[in-house]
Amino acid sequence: MRGILGFAGYVPHHRLDRAAITAASGTNAGKGTRAVASYDEDTTTMAVEAGRLALRPLGEAGRSLPDAVWFSSTAPAYVDKTNATVVHAALRLDHEAAAFDANGSVRSALGALRSALRGNDTVLLTASDVRTGLPTSVDEREGGDAAAALLVGEGRDAAPVLAEYLGGASVTDEFLDRWRTPGDVRSKQWEERFGEMQYVPLGQEAFKLALADAGVEPDGIGQVIVAGTHARAVRMVGAKVSAGTGGLAEDLAATVGNAGAAQPGLLLAHALERASVGEVIALVVLADGADVLLFRATEALGPHQPARLVGAQVTAGRDDLRYLQFLSWNGMVTIEPPRRPEPARGDLN
């Protein structure tokens, strides 16, 4: 049996209340909060924390299990250098475990997960994103910073399968709905109706193909997760594919925001934390096409104790971050640094 042996999400402690954006800009930024990585966090450090939380329930055996670790992000801390090697070192994985990146697009994280589920190795998949945009933009208010980690492999005594992989499907089409050129601080988007027209039929087609591949009927699905950076398409696809199922899973939009490449793993971890034994979960991801993966919660999930629940991290968040501070942390403004007295001449030695 192959599937998910461990899972976790990481949500930074800080939150920006969208009312703070409204107060500063005079535009309606909506209700709720978005998660914000602190000034000393980046996508790599968040991936490390998610990986640590995913491996912790496995004890000392956890570090020896992965044959490889993958890191995915649309905002890597490094280019021309493998970010996954930092994750590898911080988690103290075996020297022979390989480390690779799959960066640059939201779909890369799902592609790494799909390949791991269809492979033979035990793979630790980490995905992390810092989502921002120009001040007062949709990306700024609807984005969110977070990370997720999934350990994928064959079940064993030390690490039983918690969620069995049942099957899935992918459909791909080339159209320009969202893009960001290298070095740019913001993504650009085409008119929303255009993206919706493309994604809705793709999502429905992939969902139908995935059900056939897994031999599952709609009424056999307990939760449907729909993730993607095109909010309008996500809502429309979710309404259509969840019909006849147990319904849509919580998307954390009102508390965390959309975490880009980390969103599918984060929502899957959150759903598994609340899943009952035998429940089937459908993960639908809309990004440059549509991908659908189906999982069934096993009996091992019942006694499993996550190191830290995603829901608990959401509840524990602090939502008093100032908007100017948020802009400073994201490099959108430069504020005056703390002033300190110059050292006396004799203190320099």
Least confident of 70-79, 105-114, 150-159, 331-340: 331-340
Cβ 163 vs Cβ 293: under 8 Å = no
List the one residue out of 303, 257, 264, 259 whose CA is nearest residue 281. Answer: 264
Residue 227 — φ and ψ, nearest 5°? -125, 150
Cβ 328 vs Cβ 334: under 8 Å = yes
Residue 52 has a pLDDT of 98
Mean pLDDT calculated for residue range 322-329: 93
Residue 195 has a pLDDT of 81
Residue 186 banded pLDDT, cuts 50, 70, 90: confident
With a pLDDT cut of 70, the percent of the chain lying above it is 97
Residue 349 has a pLDDT of 47
Cβ 332 vs Cβ 143: under 8 Å = no
CB atoms within 10 A of CB 201: 14
Residues with Cβ within 8 Å of residue 259, at least 6 apart in sequence: 35, 129, 131, 143, 144, 145, 146, 147, 148, 266
Mean pLDDT calculated for residue range 95-99: 97
Residue 37 banded pLDDT, cuts 50, 70, 90: very high
Residue 103 has pLDDT above 70, yes or no: yes
Residue 102 has pLDDT above 60, yes or no: yes
Query: Which helix (H) or strand (E) covers residue 92, if one does?
Result: none
Residues with Cβ within 8 Å of residue 266, at least 6 apart in sequence: 9, 11, 146, 147, 148, 252, 256, 259, 310
Mean pLDDT calculated for residue range 237-244: 97
Residue 183 banded pLDDT, cuts 50, 70, 90: confident
Mean pLDDT calculated for residue range 125-136: 93
Mean pLDDT calculated for residue range 16-36: 93
Decide which of 225 and 338 is more confident: 225
Side-chain half-sphere exposure of 345, counting CA atoms within 13 A: 0
DSSP state string for 272-325: HHHPPTT-EEEEEEESSEEEEEEEEE-GGGTT---SS-HHHHHHH-B----HHH
pTM over 0.85: yes
> Can you tell me whether residue 339 is helix, strand or coil?
coil
Task: Give all domains of the chain, ordered by start, each with its CATH number.
Answer: 2-329 (3.40.47.10)
Return the structure tokens found at 143.
């984005």
Residue 346 has a pLDDT of 56
Residue 347 has pLDDT above 70, yes or no: no
Residue 345 has pLDDT above 60, yes or no: no
Mean pLDDT calculated for residue range 202-218: 98
Bridge partners, 150 (sequence order): 7, 125
The runs of H, that is alpha helices, within 165-250 are 192-214, 231-241
Angle between helices 106-117 and 263-274 in degrees, nearest 10: 50
Residues with Cβ within 8 Å of residue 275, at least 6 apart in sequence: 163, 222, 223, 281, 297, 301
d(CA 8, CA 265): 8
Q: Residue 177 corresponds to which amino acid?
A: D
Residue 342 has a pLDDT of 65
Residue 120 has pLDDT above 50, yes or no: yes
Mean pLDDT calculated for residue range 222-243: 96
Q: How far, CA to CA in Å, does 109 sit from each of 105, 119, 202, 264?
A: 8, 15, 19, 8
Cβ 119 vs Cβ 100: under 8 Å = no
Bridge partners, 36 (sequence order): 14
Mean pLDDT calculated for residue range 16-45: 94
Q: Residue 256 corresponds to which amino acid?
A: V
Cβ 44 vs Cβ 77: under 8 Å = yes
Residue 220 has a pLDDT of 97
Bridge partners, 3 (sequence order): 153, 164
Q: Kindly report the average pLDDT of the chain as a whole number.
A: 93
Cβ 333 vs Cβ 327: under 8 Å = yes
With a pLDDT cut of 90, the percent of the chain lying above it is 81
